Amino acid sequence: MRKKMIIILLFLSMVTQGILFAAPWWGGYRVAFDGYAVDAIATSEHLSFDLNITPFPNLSYSPSVQAGLAMSAGEHLLATLGADIPLFKLHTHPFQSFFRRTSAYTPTLGLATIFDLNTEELVAAVLTLQPLMFDFSDKQVGILGFHAVWDIKTESWGWGLRLFEISHYLW
């Protein structure tokens, strides 16, 4: 009886450990700091919180989907919905000496829409290029991304910067 119990426990621990090690990250949160130069969005810094889901985590170039809120002191609250995809992945890259952890250089391209929750209007569509994005498996860190912003109200192009973003995978 005791022997059987030990075998069952060993089997269960092996199976669950296998699942833990084999399972790729698929969901977590993202925090980002953005600035815009476009009429539809206030010029002060925006802090955004997004739920970040990677629907096909087993793919090397899996897209990610984000939904969340962007806020700025004393300005309108914005809701955002978007997706991004890595353009390529380099496991040996010129920036790796800056990091102690193993990293991959993964520039990304993203598309998002911005909805003003105060006026209840869709205000902008944003194309984002993140040239300095680094993947640390459970974390992704990006600095100085470029936004091309289509202002829906004035039907004109503007721009913005994603100063910093960090995606942290929890599941």
Residues of the shown chain interacting with other proteins in the complex, contacts defined by CB under 8 A: 33-37, 42-45, 73-74, 97-100, 143, 159-161, 163-164
Nearest by Cα to 160 from 30, 49, 33, 52: 33
Q: How far is the CB of 101 from other proteins (least distance, A)?
A: 9
Nearer to other proteins, 45 or 121 (CB): 45
Nearer to other proteins, 6 or 37 (CB): 37
Per-residue three-class SS string for the chain:
CHHHHHHHHHHHHHHHHHHHHHCCCCEEEEEEEEEEEECCECCCCEEEEEEEECCCCCCCCCCEEEEEEEECCCCCCEEEEEEEEECCCECCCCCHHHCCCCCEECCEEEEEEEEECCCCEEEEEEEEEECEEEECCCEEEEEEEEEEEEECCCCEEEEEEEEEEEEEECC
Nearer to other proteins, 86 or 160 (CB): 160
Q: In this structure, is the dihedral angle defined by the CA atoms of residues 21, 24, 29 and 34, taken in order, positive or negative?
A: positive
Q: How far is the CB of 77 from other proteins (least distance, A)?
A: 16
Q: How far is the CB of 121 from other proteins (least distance, A)?
A: 21
Nearer to other proteins, 13 or 154 (CB): 154
Q: How far is the CB of 129 from other proteins (least distance, A)?
A: 15
Q: How far is the CB of 58 from other proteins (least distance, A)?
A: 30
Nearer to other proteins, 65 or 143 (CB): 143
